[in-house]
Amino acid sequence: MLSKSINKAAKFALLAIALTSLSTSFSVDAKDQNNSHAISKDQSQHHQSEHNHSEKSQNEHHDEHNAEKKDQHGENHEHGHGHQHDHDEQSFERIQVRASRLGRIVTESATRTEIINGEEIQEKALMRPGNISMLVAETGGVRVQTTSPTLGSANIRLQGLFGRYTQLLSDGLPLYGGQTPSIGLLQIPPTDLANVEIIKGSASSLYGGSALGGVINLISRTPSDNYEGEVLVNLISKDGQDITSYIAAPISDTVSASITAGIHHQKEEDLDDDGWIDMAGYERASVRPRLYWQGENGQNLYVTAGAMKEKRTGGTRGNATLPDGTHFSQNLDTTRTDFGFVYDQAVNDIINLNVRGSAMSQSHDHQFGNVIEDDRHNSYLLESSLSGYTDKAAWLIGAAFQGEHFKSKTFPDFDYNFETPGLFSQLDYEISDDIAASLSARTDLHSDYGTQFSPRVSLLYSPEYWTIRGAYGKGFYAPTPFIEEIDEVGLSRLVPLEGLDAEQATTASLDISYIEGAMETSVTLFASEIDNVTELDQISNYLNSNDITNPTTSASSLNYEKTVRLVNAPGETEISGAELLMRYRWRDIKFTGSYLYTDATKAGDAESSRQPLALTPQHSAGLVVMWEEHGSHLVGVEAYYTGTQKLENNPYREKSDAYWHLGLLGQITLGRISYFINAENLLNIRQTKEDSLLLPSQAASGRWTTDIWSRNDGFTVNAGIRFQFGE
């Protein structure tokens, strides 16, 4: 029962009350001592982009209305679209969120949306310029889970939910696919990001079945009125290099443009000298232009296109062999292109029209030992909506048509063509000055899994200094062959899918935040129940003796025994827990502490028994201290703790060790040039120091490795230079 799951986490409410009470007295003292250093949790270094495509006119109305309401609480909110570095004034940046569709101010929206602001993005970009994995991994309640130890691919888990349930968007568009491949997370650089928006819990009512676990929306920087840009060059101690660039400029009074490009390289690394590559090698290049147009009558058009090509290599190295005496190369070549647009215009003073669409094509050439898999993923979206407002309400209705197609030349039995028309609506209503509600619902007619209804209800109560939110939602996910375990092994031993039901989830959360002066504290209680979870089931232990010996031969033409299948797990998967967060800024020093408790179980073998969910630490925590004087220097120290995790199909142990990750970052800025150095994993934690990554024999699924439950890179240093230019 969902109520029982919430009760498991309710004991943390007492701790939350104690923390918020403590912070109340502490922040009052801090306010007296540092009256000039008040900040909001949404303060951002970079200007918040203005292409709020679907709700611009109505947001202007709500900004004025809500500013009057907030002034009653003594808050002095300002539109902060420039750098907010003047700590001698009490100023709060009003960030509009777009992941919730109606674009409300983040502090005033009943739908809880967490913001990673521009300042944090720039800090994390110095640590990992090549992709966004570290950017999201060090956010509370978010875990980046490695799905393929050989190639290093990973997905994003929100509050313990499976990574395949997380919808990744770019400016509100599914440019990386409706069901983002795990490897996609490692192919997106953070160079041009202004903010990142995160909605945890079912967001299917907003974005359909791909958002069963939540949404991560990457918001790009919008060009300013002047020419600007930057180039970043990064070198990694383990023979890796990154070069990224961003250039933006106005083209005319109504048109502006930007372009982001990157080149990335990593050499294969066998850190324990056992002949198996522990860190995959890759060569990658990407480019993304963006175009912005604003008409004389307030029309807005945003157009983007992207291209990426990568070659990734892993498996055995040189003449090394596996325990069975064979070589095993595991490689992946990826080519992706995409296109997206968003257009909006005011129909009248109240109603706004929005049309958006996207298309993505991604081809993969896999090699799993002697098996070659050649496939293509295509996805597209076309959506139109009308939105409007009254004095107390904002509303939106719309229709969407989404397609997800997969075609395999090697294993055509796994081809699928999902076509999903849908209708959606949202209503935000201000019940009083301190109470607001948000209701959203979506009906999807899935071509394979029938009619699916996804509702969500959110409530907000915001008395002075306090923000209390509650949310309840339901959603679905359409099963495909690409669950986490298949990333590592491919389709060769998998029985074609049949008889699967759509995965269904119910999620609920309660969030309590207190902000005064330079102190912010919050606690979130969350719970989820998932039915029909798709999991891998073993049906045979051995591969047919008629192995594939020619790597260029199509596996579908050979007698290759199927040994695993996908099934709906019996019973419910239950996940509940609590997040705690504390932030404090003293002058130019920012302290952030977090703790996450997760109780995740699934049905056990015995009747009425439960067993822990694998690769889900019950306890994790983090502390970050950042000292930054803008335009001069930055010094940061971070410490993250990951508790023990249950392991499956691991012959070396049933439970992982707990471990710490320590990091140190420094940057010096001289004019427009910044020099940075970053040290990661100072304790040199590496899983292969404890156990081999290789299994003694090949698993029934075709897998040769255990799961990654710890760090697998060891101590690493990266350093580089960032050059900013423009008017």
3-state secondary structure of 629: strand
DSSP 406-449: EEESS-GGG-EEEEEEEEEEEEEEE-SSSEEEEEEEEEEEETTT
pLDDT (mean) for 520-528: 97
Question: For residue 103, what pLDDT is reported?
Answer: 65
Residue 542 has pLDDT above 70, yes or no: no
Q: How far apart are CA 600 and CA 618, in angstroms?
A: 8
512: left (phi over 0), alpha (psi -120 to 50) or beta: beta
Please state, in angstroms and as integers, the Cα–Cα distance from residue 565 to each residue in 249, 462, 495, 706, following that order.
52, 49, 5, 19
E strands, 500-618, in order: 503-516, 519-531, 534-538, 564-568, 572-586, 589-603, 610-612
Question: For residue 555, what pLDDT is reported?
Answer: 42
Question: For residue 186, what pLDDT is reported?
Answer: 82
Give me the residue label for tokens 């106005």. 250
Q: How far apart are CA 202 and CA 197, in angstroms?
A: 15
Instruction: Pick the more confident residue, 103 or 462.
Output: 462
Cβ-contact 464, 74 below 8 angstroms: yes
Question: For residue 178, what pLDDT is reported?
Answer: 79
Q: How far apart are CA 214 and CA 259, in angstroms?
A: 29
Contacts of 179 (CB under 8 A, 6+ apart): 164, 210, 379, 404, 480, 482
Contacts of 22 (CB under 8 A, 6+ apart): none
Give the range with max mean pLDDT: 200-209, 557-566, 713-722. Answer: 713-722
Q: How far apart are CA 13 and CA 5, in angstroms?
A: 14
Q: How far apart are CA 178 and CA 406, in angstroms?
A: 12
Taking only the tens place, the pLDDT of each residue in 111-147 is 889 999 999 999 999 999 999 988 898 888 999 999 9
Residue 109 has pLDDT above 70, yes or no: yes
pLDDT (mean) for 511-519: 95
CATH code for the domain of 662: 2.40.170.20
Residue 42 has pLDDT above 60, yes or no: no
Q: 49-58, 200-209, 522-531, 650-659: which range is least confident on average? A: 49-58
Question: For residue 96, what pLDDT is reported?
Answer: 55
Cβ-contact 150, 277 below 8 angstroms: yes
Contacts of 623 (CB under 8 A, 6+ apart): 591, 592, 593, 594, 638, 639, 640
Number of H helices, E strands in the chain: 7, 33
H or E stretch at 26: helix 2-33
Q: How far apart are CA 100 and CA 115, in angstroms?
A: 12
Question: For residue 107, what pLDDT is reported?
Answer: 63
Instruction: Pick the more confident residue, 218 or 86.
Output: 218
Neighbouring-strand partners of residue 633: 629, 668
Question: For residue 104, what pLDDT is reported?
Answer: 61
Question: For residue 105, what pLDDT is reported?
Answer: 64
Q: 47-51, 182-186, 661-665: which range is least confident on average? A: 47-51
Question: For residue 212, what pLDDT is reported?
Answer: 95
pLDDT (mean) for 406-427: 96
Question: For residue 450, what pLDDT is reported?
Answer: 97
Question: 419-439: b or e for each residue (b if 16 or more CB lie within 10 Å)?
Answer: ebebebbbebebeeebebbbb
3-state secondary structure of 98: coil
pLDDT (mean) for 172-178: 91
| Average pLDDT of the residues of the chain | 86
Q: How far apart are CA 656 and CA 709, in angstroms?
A: 7
Structure-block tokens of residue 26: 């502490």
Structure-block tokens of residue 712: 């697998």
Residue 240 has pLDDT above 70, yes or no: yes
Give me the residue label for tokens 């509370």. 140
DSSP 703-725: --B----S--S-SEEEEEEEEEE
Q: How far apart are CA 549 and CA 542, in angstroms?
A: 17
Nearest to 56 by CA among 368, 356, 300: 300
Q: Domain total for the chain?
A: 1
pLDDT confidence of 77, banded at 50, 70, 90?
A: very low
Nearest to 218 by CA among 264, 187, 255, 241: 187
Cβ-contact 476, 428 below 8 angstroms: no
Cβ-contact 94, 40 below 8 angstroms: no
Q: How far apart are CA 232 and CA 47, in angstroms?
A: 20
Nearest to 614 by CA among 650, 572, 658: 650
Question: For residue 140, what pLDDT is reported?
Answer: 87
Question: For residue 179, what pLDDT is reported?
Answer: 74
pLDDT confidence of 409, banded at 50, 70, 90?
A: very high
pLDDT confidence of 12, banded at 50, 70, 90?
A: very low
Question: For residue 81, what pLDDT is reported?
Answer: 34
Nearest to 565 by CA among 534, 540, 532, 536: 536
Structure-block tokens of residue 169: 């968007």
30: left (phi over 0), alpha (psi -120 to 50) or beta: alpha
705 secondary structure, DSSP code = B
Burial (CB < 10 A; 0-12, 13-18, 19+), residue 277, is buried
Taking only the tens place, the pLDDT of each residue in 578-627 is 999 999 999 999 999 999 999 999 998 877 899 999 999 999 999 999 99
Q: How far apart are CA 275 and CA 644, in angstroms?
A: 28
3-state secondary structure of 375: strand
Q: How far apart are CA 239 and CA 260, in angstroms?
A: 24
Residue 494 has pLDDT above 60, yes or no: yes
Helix residue spans in 513-649 (DSSP H): none
499: left (phi over 0), alpha (psi -120 to 50) or beta: left
Range(s) of the domain holding residue 366:
2-726
pLDDT (mean) for 692-704: 94
H or E stretch at 87: none
Question: For residue 97, what pLDDT is reported?
Answer: 59
